[in-house]
Structure 1
Amino acid sequence: MVQTDDWLADTRTSYDTVAVSYAGQLRDSLAERPYLRAALTLFADLVSSAGGGPVADIGCGPGHVTAHLRALGIDAFGIDLSPGMIDVARRDHPGVRFEVGSMTDPDLPDASVAGLLAWWSLIHIPDDEVPGVFGHFHRALRPGGLLQLGFHVGDQSRLKTEGYGGHPMKVHVHRRRPDQVTTWLRDAGFAVEAQMLLDPDEEVPQAVLFARPQS
């Protein structure tokens, strides 16, 4: 599927449009996903055992995962492309740091974070942009820092034109095989430590990967 150069602006506008309804639908979603909660708990434990430090939740949306990490004792902050999402995150989680930014050019100093999380936000990044995004992640992570990715599993991309209460959207959703994502990570200098496959018998399985930058 051809994707124009305006994909970043289209994604921002789409999530600005659905921010309030999206937040309402996802607010309690973690309560229904024990395996995802376990993945976050493991992530938090590994970051803490390595000495702790700031954790960036990139593509944080309405901030529910960022807030969950903070409840686990992690110094998490959220970054999202959509100003509308950031407004909702700040409204729903006062006292938590949220800022507008893009994973294609994150405002994160070199070796500044102990952990980095990208949950179902990489799904909107075109294939040819993913290596650059992973390069930014590698640069921002401290030596020994931990990366966790969550994404849809598959081989297809589709254009999503409506969602979250029937609002208009224009975003491409990319499903990817874990071995492809693993190859991109290794090429960017990461060592993949673990992989979880969730809902393998569903139409669209989910995957969670854990990786660290190699020295």
Structure 2
Amino acid sequence: MPAIDASRLHTTARAYDAIAPQYVALVGDGLARLPLDRAIVEAFAGLVRQAGPGPVGDLGCGPGYLAAHLRDLGLDVFGVDLSEALIAHARERYPDLPFSVGSMAALDVADGTLGGIVSWYSLIHAAPADVPVYLAEFHRVLAPGGQLLLGFFESGGEPLSPFAHKVTTAYRWPIDRLAGLAGAAGFEEVGRMLRQPLENERFQHGRLLLRKR
């Protein structure tokens, strides 16, 4: 697999560092007002618990609200993000959880040790050609049968396309295309969800729940 362009990672990290306080205020309490999103996160947590013990990585964890929610669902969670400012916020707000600055394409995790991974809107800034690299890393660190939950902006029937995200360039993915890449990386689909945009949102949202073969 080719390496991820370090300059792209730097650009994304600095973009989130620059607006960290505003971003934290924007995401607020995370899933509190999103019952469908909570439902699939809770389904993911239930599948991880059912499969057996194993830590869960919240990759691209941002300010840490999702990691905290997973902890409350009984999972052993850690978070990783490129943004030093967002990791600093996560550590301050959730001092009981381990958070570290790093790339989810190069995790300091042994092969086959994680029970689950959540990538919640953290692949959206990846160049499409780089997404298989991330999926291969997720596959490497997950135990056999480990669960993977992807949250992303869905293309709504349009081709894969970039858009002007409020922080930095992001992509809207056709759910079938992303599911196909996950299948090629060694995952099988467990379930999927499409959620229509709320009043203050622009795009349809996709969720893929996957399992390492």
Quick check: TM above 0.5?
Answer: yes
CA deviations on 1:17-40 (whole Å, 9 max, x unpaired) are 112221122122311100111111
What pairs with 1:18-97 in structure 2 (closer than 5 Å)?
A: 18-97=19-98
Partner residue, 1:187: 184
CA deviations on 1:94-117 (whole Å, 9 max, x unpaired) are 111101111222222101110000
Partner residue, 2:170: 173
Q: Which runs of 5+ in 2 are unaligned?
A: none
Q: Which runs of 5+ in 1 are unaligned?
A: 164-168
The 3-state SS of whatever aligns with 1:122 is: coil
CA RMSD of aligned residues (A): 1.6
Distance 1:138 1:31, change over 3 A: same
Deviates more, 1:81-90 or 1:23-32: 23-32
Partners of 1:172 and 1:104 lie apart in 2 by: 19
What pairs with 1:118-133 in structure 2 (closer than 5 Å)?
A: 118-133=119-134
Q: Give the fraction of aligned pairs with identical amino acids, expressed as a percent.
A: 39
The 3-state SS of whatever aligns with 1:86 is: helix
CA contact (8 A) 1:145 1:212 kept: yes
Count of residue correspondences: 203
CA contact (8 A) 1:104 1:129 kept: no
**TM-score, L = length of structure 1:** 0.90
The 3-state SS of whatever aligns with 1:30 is: coil
Deviates more, 1:183-192 or 1:61-70: 183-192
The runs of at least 4 aligned residues of structure 1 exceeding 2 Å deviation read: 200-203
